[in-house]
Structure 1
Amino acid sequence: MIKKVQLPLQTMNLVVGFMVWVIISSLIPFISEDITIPPERLAMVTAVPVVLGSILRIPMGYYANMFGARIIFLISFILLLFPVFYISEASSFTDLIIGGLFLGIGGAVFSVGVTSLPKYYPKEKHGLVNGIYGAGNIGTAITTFSTPLIATQIGWSATVKLFLVLLIVFALLNFFFGDRHETKVKTPILEQIKSVYKNEKLWFFSLFYFITFGSFVAFTIYLPNFLVNNFGLEKVDAGMRTAGFIAVATFLRPVGGWLGDRLQPLLLLIGTFFIYTVAAIVLAFSPSIGLYTVGSLAIAVSAGIGNGVIFKLVPFYFNKQAGIVNGIVSMMGGLGGFFPPIMLSIIFSLTGQYSIGFMLLSQVALASLVLVVWMYYQDRLLLAGEVFNSTGQGILVTDTSGNIRTVNPAFSKLTGFEKEEVIGQNPSIMKSGKQTSEFYRNMWKEIKEKDMWQGEIWNKRKNGEEYLQWLNISAVKDDTGEVVRYVGTFTDITSEYNKKSGF
């Protein structure tokens, strides 16, 4: 029973953590009426909770593996009581910075669930499970939509205090319903980091999540104030539009995970970053509110699907180090939400417009698109290499002059010749002498006419032992129809021959 409630419980934990994480950004139009915040520091106030919420994701993912999700969620919600109360009593810019920094704990809990939940499900469901859990970032939409409505009735300070009740309730739920017997992994953190930091896929996934989740966070914390100041919208209207952006991205996150379970995840990321690139270019031209809405929703679609797909890929490539890798990748995603608002503010103060900032986003998305395409074809080459190296048939590849270019391990096992001994040699070094010159002329005549030949042929091993092969030779052509190499595959059929001959 306890194991069955982990997915809904941990998803709701994430909802609450993300609700708390964006308290300041969702209420900043109200807070700024009571607390003087210099315009050039406004982005800093809204972005600062992202800092700790990003950096803490590495230890959170690691300790979730070590102690279990129940303990980490419980401690996190207790710790969040203090900054929430402190912010509700804030009276200065410094108070908001200090309190906001520790609100980051709410965003850091993300890496707890993506580390814990895959333990309860088979690998083919990890994309959907992590996608459902990741949909907990709807918490940012709930706060962004609801707090302006509540604050207009009871004030922003009392609105913040309501979150104290929510945190206490969920601390108790985790105490009673969290899984006390979750599988623990206690590999030292430095040992886990050493085992993954040289893997290029870790840093590629970090970059991809930096963009997909980073833009989600950046738009979440930036849109409310941006829509009020740039388009003159009412605060409640701006909050509702931002909530719509969050809702689209959140709903599509489990869809992205589900699609990642069924389709090629890297192809999905190619589509994601293509849309990102185009949408960011649209936003760069400072469009009307209508086009700005279309561009923002396109980014929401891409962010949602991309976020779901990436956390399908992480446990697929890093099964044994999922905790630490989830922490690193999700940290980079959080930091991706910290820098854009600050960068946009600096660019606006220097140029009076946001175009350059959005154009930079399009260029980073385009670079990511190129990297994903490269990863996709590298994976295909790796798969081909695995097939080449693991097949039980001997394989040799020659150039058009008949010189051996490469062989597979099965070739060496069957013939006794090591790869280094035959590279650059002609396959004739294995001739047994049993076939006549006429045999070889007919064989190559058929290859020239039909691009392939197959049949029985006697050859000899390195030790001089003769054996019978079933040999297939195929011509490989380029796009122009020219033969560029020949591939021979063979098996040892000597035992079958001996049985038929009565030996």
Structure 2
Amino acid sequence: MLKTKTLQLPLQTLSLVAGFMVWVILSSLMPFIKEEIQLSANQIALITAIPVVLGSILRVPIGYWTNRYGARKLFSISFILLVFPIFYISNANSFTDLLVGGFFLGISGAVFSVGVTSLPKYYPKERHGFVNGIYGAGNIGTAITTFSAPVIATKLGWGMTVKLYLILVVVISLLNFLMGDKKEPKVVTPLSTQIKSVYKNEKLWFLSLFYFLTFGAFVAFTIYLPNFLVANFELSKVDAGIRTAGFIAVATVFRPVGGFLGDKFNSFKILMWVFAGLSLSGILLAFNPALPLYSIGCITIALCAGIGNGTVFKLVPMYFSKQAGIVNGIVSAMGGLGGFFPPLLLSFLFNLTGHYAIGFMALSQVAMACLILVIWMFYQEKLETLNRMSGHVE
């Protein structure tokens, strides 16, 4: 039994790596796909963003189902279901095909809710931040695909490259079926009861907004950079893939660091630095700098997003230990939606104005609003602590 428990962190992290590898197939291969299928700039933005929709919406029920049925069943079923959209996309020859296949590809992004709900059951509270940070490092899957898919596609073509992912999802499904924990503790509180117990809590919506920005920035830049770097800086498709993979790697490496810092220090103070960094980076990118300065802005966003992602998920079990499944689902769903809207907004604003400045300034202003909210929450927490202490003394 102990061996089964110790296996869950590496097994579920590997599953997330695979899920995120699949989630960004379309954005990673878009420079190749658009050479064979005629697509407008708006259609490209929609296709690359569409996997995020189902990947976000499904996170709420998947968080709940994980509490009820366990990670083993959820991972096994999710990866088998992915066989169908992957095969469909590999044979796509129209905008509609890519849109339909991409929508159901969202299942691969929704599996994030499984681990953040399941893994805290195996560890004490003081380690939740670090454990969720390690699991969240499964984001590296997006870097693996962004880096490797263009390289493989230059040799095999994009359709065959997509087909290779069929092997991956079948293997991961089998691993979870054979090695997942059959005796994971279950929570059987009805979904409606769990939602009613949390939806009026302002902390839920503040944490959702914070994750909307930090994870949303990570996802948005992941799906937006490959095509943007080719179109705007005239880089080669492989070079753009490598640079995007670098962005993802930085964000991924610093996610466990964010969880670790959240365990060791005051999480609100860390988030203050995160949102200040995102705000300044958004301003820098708005001025459309040359590639070296643009790269610095992107790396700063990756650093802040990674630390922010890890820190936010330290706060979730701290405030919502009994409703972790549903809250993890809601917060992570909002993070996913945060990755859906920015690429569409950037594309719309570019068509309207001829540049991306307004979009990047919007990122800066949302980060500034989050910074103000974090400062307010920090002092509210201090005030509540003082009131409890004074009440105890009386």
**TM-score (norm. length: structure 2):** 0.99
* Greater Cα shift, 180-189 or 380-389: 380-389
Q: 2:217 aligns with which of 215, 218, 222?
A: 215
Which residue of structure 1 aligns with residue 143 of structure 2?
A: 141
Gaps of 5+ in 2: none
Which residue of structure 1 aligns with residue 113 of structure 2?
A: 111
- RMSD (Å), alpha carbons: 0.5
Which residue of structure 1 aligns with residue 97 of structure 2?
A: 95
Q: In 1, distance between residues paired with 2:42 and 2:158?
A: 22
Q: In 2, distance between residues paired with 1:282 and 1:34?
A: 35
Which residue of structure 2 aligns with residue 36 of structure 1?
A: 38
Q: In 1, distance between residues paired with 2:100 and 2:382?
A: 49
Q: Give, as a single letter, the amino acid of the residue that structure 2 aligns with 1:189.
A: L
Which residue of structure 2 aligns with residue 130 of structure 1?
A: 132
Which residue of structure 1 aligns with residue 7 of structure 2?
A: 5
Which residue of structure 1 aligns with residue 307 of structure 2?
A: 305
Alignment map for 1:300-339 (pairs within 5 Å): 300-339=302-341
Q: In 1, distance between residues paired with 2:202 and 2:371?
A: 16
Q: CA deviation at 1:288?
A: 0.4
Which residue of structure 2 aligns with residue 244 of structure 1?
A: 246
Per the alignment, in what secondary structure is the counterpart of residue 187 of structure 2? coil
Which residue of structure 2 aligns with residue 269 of structure 1?
A: 271
Which residue of structure 1 aligns with residue 175 of structure 2?
A: 173
| Percent of residue pairs bearing the same amino acid type | 67
Q: Is the 8 A contact 2:119 2:131 kept in 1?
A: yes
Q: CA deviation at 1:390?
A: 2.3
* Greater Cα shift, 33-42 or 135-144: 33-42
Per the alignment, in what secondary structure is the counterpart of residue 82 of structure 2? helix
Which residue of structure 2 aligns with residue 186 of structure 1?
A: 188
- Structure with more contact order per residue of length (Cα contacts < 8 Å, sep ≥ 6): 2
Per the alignment, in what secondary structure is the counterpart of residue 106 of structure 2? helix
Q: 2:383 aligns with which of 374, 381, 384?
A: 381
Q: Give, as a single letter, the amino acid of the residue that structure 2 aligns with 1:154.
A: L
Q: Give, as a single letter, the amino acid of the residue that structure 2 aligns with 1:317.
A: Y
Which residue of structure 2 aligns with residue 55 of structure 1?
A: 57
Which has more radius of gyration? Answer: 1
Q: Is the 8 A contact 2:43 2:95 kept in 1?
A: no
**TM-score (norm. length: structure 1):** 0.78
Q: 1:352 aligns with which of 343, 351, 354?
A: 354
Q: Give, as a single letter, the amino acid of the residue that structure 1 aligns with 2:304.
A: S
Q: CA deviation at 1:40?
A: 2.1
Q: CA deviation at 1:41?
A: 1.4
User: Higher helix share goes to which structure?
Assistant: 2
Q: In 2, distance between residues paired with 1:191 and 1:338?
A: 29
Which residue of structure 2 aligns with residue 150 of structure 1?
A: 152
Q: 1:369 aligns with which of 358, 371, 392?
A: 371
Q: Give, as a single letter, the amino acid of the residue that structure 2 aligns with 1:58.
A: V
Which residue of structure 1 aligns with residue 289 of structure 2?
A: 287
Gaps of 5+ in 1: 395-503
Q: Give, as a single letter, the amino acid of the residue that structure 2 aligns with 1:227.
A: L
Deviations 1:147-203 (A, max 9, x none): 000000000000000000011111110011000000000000010000000000000
Per the alignment, in what secondary structure is the counterpart of residue 81 of structure 2? helix
Q: In 1, distance between residues paired with 2:303 and 2:388?
A: 35
Q: In 1, distance between residues paired with 2:133 and 2:218?
A: 15
Q: CA deviation at 1:389?
A: 1.7
Point out 4+ residue stretches in structure 1 off by more than 6 angstroms.
none
Q: In 2, distance between residues paired with 1:169 and 1:78?
A: 9
Which residue of structure 2 aligns with residue 86 of structure 1?
A: 88
Per the alignment, in what secondary structure is the counterpart of residue 2 of structure 1? helix
Alignment coverage as a number of residue pairs: 392
Q: In 1, distance between residues paired with 2:38 and 2:350?
A: 20
User: Higher strand share goes to which structure?
Assistant: 1
Which residue of structure 2 aligns with residue 414 of structure 1?
A: none
Per the alignment, in what secondary structure is the counterpart of residue 384 of structure 1? helix
Q: Give, as a single letter, the amino acid of the residue that structure 2 aligns with 1:162.
A: L
